[in-house]
């Protein structure tokens, strides 16, 4: 059983003092090359283990990033985390992950815990149920930088990494128009969440830009699940005036549309063009495969980390900065009727 080795043990062994050892270990410029090498070798040989708690207590700062997401187990968020982790590891940061399950209470709770842990930063994507941003302000008041990504609070200034959802929707509508569709319906998410609002906005702009009329009976809100989407299509299909294409705010909902279409005997893409959002892996494997929007999720994660590091190393702290990621339309079978 290895009895923990401290810098004092190393110092003693080498006839030095703890401060010198401490500095040598951290590559402090004051220390001579010879001493550094000597100390570092000894440390390795003696299996010295840096005591993170002690150094945190002393310096008041950790090398840990707290990440708060609605759900870990979906492709988008897990890829974001994966991206964060990648850059974090390079810079010897650890990450602590909290999932809120779209519950606001849990989100507040998570942020509090992270503040307690005295994390170096908090990266957060808000839950659908988020009602205010006091918990984020609390973090900031504790001098903990907050980086918001994807689902953010637009009333709160600060560091953000976003997808250009507006352009994405416009691009999708343009693509559908290019395929000869002109009667485009839309399945939206909850109105109060920024990303879904932007997607909706993009849809409206796209429609307008292409000279199509906006019909509110072709738009359904809060349609993010398979079931809701199915229901929505069934309802829309009963209308006297049917759409010939549908843009959907989430891939899962697009799968629901596909299901409903199968039931109703609607041929996709011939009778109904379909376009999803997020480019979840399974969109390739449905039949027909689903046209979707690639959000470069792991890139979002990497950018969060980079933005934080930039802020950390900046002379004067950035009060705000937004990095906008350009999504990419991935065309698949569900929206192509022009060869």
Q: Which two tokens stand for residue 260?
A: 């409903």
Least separation, in Å, of the C-beta of 316 and DNA? Answer: 19
- Give the separation between CA 43 and CA 207, rounded to whole angstroms: 66
Least separation, in Å, of the C-beta of 10 and DNA? Answer: 8
Q: Which of 237, 232, 233, 166 is nearest to 203 (CA)?
A: 166
> Residue from 12, 37, 45, 57 that binds DNA (CB under 7 A)?
57
- Contact indicator for 96, 63 with CB cutoff of 8 Å: no
Q: Is 125 helix (H, G, I), strand (E, B) or coil?
A: coil
Closer by beta carbon to its own copies, 237 or else 282: 282
Which of DNA, its own copies, none does 281 bind, CB closer than 5 to 8 A by kind? its own copies
Contact string (CB under 7 A) for DNA, positions 294-313, x = contact: --------------------
Phi and psi, residue 312, nearest 5°: -65, -40
Closer by beta carbon to its own copies, 192 or else 262: 262
Closer by beta carbon to its own copies, 190 or else 288: 288
> Residue from 1, 2, 27, 59 that binds DNA (CB under 7 A)?
59
> Residue from 12, 26, 101, 239 that binds DNA (CB under 7 A)?
26
Q: Which two tokens stand for residue 8?
A: 């004092």
- Contacting residues toward its own copies, per CB under 8 A: 1-2, 49-54, 56-57, 62, 64, 71-75, 78-79, 81-82, 85, 89, 92, 94-99, 113, 115-118, 141-143, 255, 258, 281-282, 285-287, 298
- Contact indicator for 247, 172 with CB cutoff of 8 Å: yes
Q: Is 294 helix (H, G, I), strand (E, B) or coil?
A: strand
Least separation, in Å, of the C-beta of 234 and its own copies? Answer: 18
Q: Which residues contact 250 (CB under 8 A, 6 or more apart)?
A: 189, 223, 224, 276, 277, 278
Closer by beta carbon to DNA, 63 or else 321: 63
Q: Does 144 bind DNA (CB under 7 A)?
A: no
> Residue from 54, 154, 239, 314 that binds DNA (CB under 7 A)?
54
Q: Does 117 bind DNA (CB under 7 A)?
A: no
Q: Does 118 bind DNA (CB under 7 A)?
A: no
Which of these segments, 30-38, 89-97, 119-127, 218-226, binds DNA (CB under 7 A)? Answer: 30-38
Least separation, in Å, of the C-beta of 284 and its own copies? Answer: 8
- Give the separation between CA 209 and CA 236, rounded to whole angstroms: 23
Which of DNA, its own copies, none does 131 bind, CB closer than 5 to 8 A by kind? none
Residue reference for tokens 């192509």: 336
Alpha carbon distances (Å) from 5 to 8, 16, 215, 277: 8, 15, 72, 53
Alpha carbon distances (Å) from 111 to 40, 75, 93, 142, 146: 37, 23, 18, 12, 10
Q: Which of 30, 25, 31, 32 is nearest to 51 (CA)?
A: 25
Q: Does 17 bind DNA (CB under 7 A)?
A: yes
Q: Which of 249, 252, 220 is nearest to 234 (CA)?
A: 220
> Residue from 1, 2, 27, 34 that binds DNA (CB under 7 A)?
34
Q: Does 4 bind DNA (CB under 7 A)?
A: yes
Quick one: how far is CA 128 from the chain centroid? 14
Q: Does 142 bind DNA (CB under 7 A)?
A: no
Least separation, in Å, of the C-beta of 270 and its own copies? Answer: 17
- Give the separation between CA 15 and CA 234, rounded to whole angstroms: 81
Site residues for DNA per CB under 7 A: 4, 6-8, 15-20, 22-23, 25-26, 30-32, 34-35, 48, 50-51, 54-55, 57-60
């Amino acid at each position: 059983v290895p009895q923990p080795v401290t810098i004092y043990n190393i110092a003693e062994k080498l006839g030095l003092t703890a401060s010198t050892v401490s500095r040598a270990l951290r590559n402090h410029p004051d220390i001579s090359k010879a001493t550094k090498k000597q100390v570092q070798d000894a440390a390795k040989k003696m299996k010295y283990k840096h005591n993170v708690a002690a150094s945190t207590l002393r310096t008041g700062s950790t090398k840990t990033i707290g990440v708060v997401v609605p759900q870990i187990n979906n492709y988008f968020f897990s890829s974001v985390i994966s991206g964060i982790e990648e850059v974090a590891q390079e810079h010897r940061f650890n990450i602590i992950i909290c999932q809120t399950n779209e519950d606001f209470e849990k989100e507040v709770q998570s942020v509090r815990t992270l503040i307690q842990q005295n994390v170096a930063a908090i990266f957060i994507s808000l839950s659908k149920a988020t009602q205010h941003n006091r918990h984020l302000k609390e973090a900031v008041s504790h001098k903990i930088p907050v980086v918001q990504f994807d689902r953010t609070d637009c009333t709160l200034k600060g560091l953000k990494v976003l997808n250009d959802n507006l352009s994405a929707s416009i691009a999708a509508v343009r693509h559908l128009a290019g395929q000869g569709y002109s009667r485009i319906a839309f399945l939206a998410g909850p109105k109060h969440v920024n990303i879904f609002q932007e997607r909706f906005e993009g849809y409206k702009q796209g429609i307008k830009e292409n000279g199509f009329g906006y019909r509110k009976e072709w738009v359904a809100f809060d349609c993010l699940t398979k079931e809701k989407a199915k229901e929505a299509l069934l309802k829309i299909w009963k209308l006297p005036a049917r759409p010939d294409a549908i843009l959907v705010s989430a891939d899962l909902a697009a799968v629901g549309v596909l299901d409903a279409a199968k039931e109703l005997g609607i041929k996709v893409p011939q009778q109904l063009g379909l376009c999803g959002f997020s480019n979840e892996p399974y969109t390739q494997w449905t039949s027909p495969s689903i046209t979707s929007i690639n959000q470069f999720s792991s890139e979002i994660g990497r950018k969060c980390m980079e933005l934080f590091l930039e802020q950390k190393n900046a002379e004067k702290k950035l009060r705000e900065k937004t990095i906008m990621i350009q999504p990419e339309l991935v065309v698949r079978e569900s929206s192509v009727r022009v060869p």
